[in-house]
Amino acid sequence: MKKYLKESAAKAGIELEEEKLEKFGTFYELLLETNKSFNLTAITEMQEVVLKHFVDSIMIEKCFSLSKEIEKQCCPIKRIADVGTGAGFPGIPLAILYPNIEFVLMDSLKKRLNFIETVLEKANIKNVTVVHGRAEDLGQNSNYREKFDMCVSRAVASLPVLLELCTPFVKVGGKFVSYKSELLKEELGQSKSALSILHCALERQYEYTIPDSDLYRVLAIFSKEKKLEKKYPRQAGKPKRNPL
């Protein structure tokens, strides 16, 4: 697994040192082992886990080159939230890639977070905390509201809903990065009112094909321009029932 991950990441121009590969190896073993008794992922074949989970998660490096900024000790991103992290995607691969950035992984399903806590302990990952709760509630909690330089999220909701769930965590001037695929164009068309209400703007899109595959993906990068009105996010369930 480690050799294949190293080669696949290198094809995308991302270098993974042995220490990081070791952590991915532990994560991989625990994912497969735990998945036998508790459904964490439908993807279990080694090459697919590597490409669709690990490499896809770290593709954000291609947009922001945070590794270089960390090396030069001038990284502007200090704290990242992952909303609806599930079994830890993209949060854990990103935390392994960026050991100097602090990550907060959030999910409403406690059992998935228990799995993540085991991974953190066994893989000796020190820069992650997990928080159990609905994004709608955590976004109103002063410990998390507008406290992050960046928020990321993958496969959680359609964009108009996701914007309301995720942008409350982002500081003014910070970024929200949504991992999407073919549906992005259509979802952007449905997000005009949400973007305006939440004071966010689409900054750019980064399109890519996952190495060794023909799988199209796109990262939509939004910037937050102003503080959010207190009434957002609305109470749990409302963003999905009645998108902005």
Q: Using CA atoms, how far apart are residues 91 and 141, in angstroms rounded to an integer? A: 21
User: Within a 10 A sphere around the Cβ of 166, how many other Cβ atoms?
Assistant: 31
Beta 216-224 vs 200-209: how paired, if at all? antiparallel
Min CB(132)–ligand SAM separation in Å: 9
> Which segments of the chain does DSSP mark as H helices, in order?
2-11, 18-35, 46-48, 56-58, 61-64, 66-71, 91-97, 110-122, 135-138, 159-166, 184-189, 192-197, 238-241
Task: Kindly tell me which of 108 and 223 has the beta carbon lying closer to ligand SAM.
Answer: 108
Min CB(239)–ligand SAM separation in Å: 8
Min CB(141)–ligand SAM separation in Å: 12
Task: Kindly tell me which of 42 and 74 has the beta carbon lying closer to ligand SAM.
Answer: 42
Min CB(20)–ligand SAM separation in Å: 20
- Residue at 178: amino acid letter: S
Residues found near ligand SAM in the complex (CB under 6 A) = 84-86, 89, 106-109, 112, 134-136, 154-156, 165
Instruction: Point out the residue whose Cβ comes nearest to ligand SAM.
Output: 86
Q: Maximum distance among all alpha carbons in the chain?
A: 49
Task: Kindly tell me which of 9 and 165 has the beta carbon lying closer to ligand SAM.
Answer: 165
Task: Kindly tell me which of 82 and 149 has the beta carbon lying closer to ligand SAM.
Answer: 82
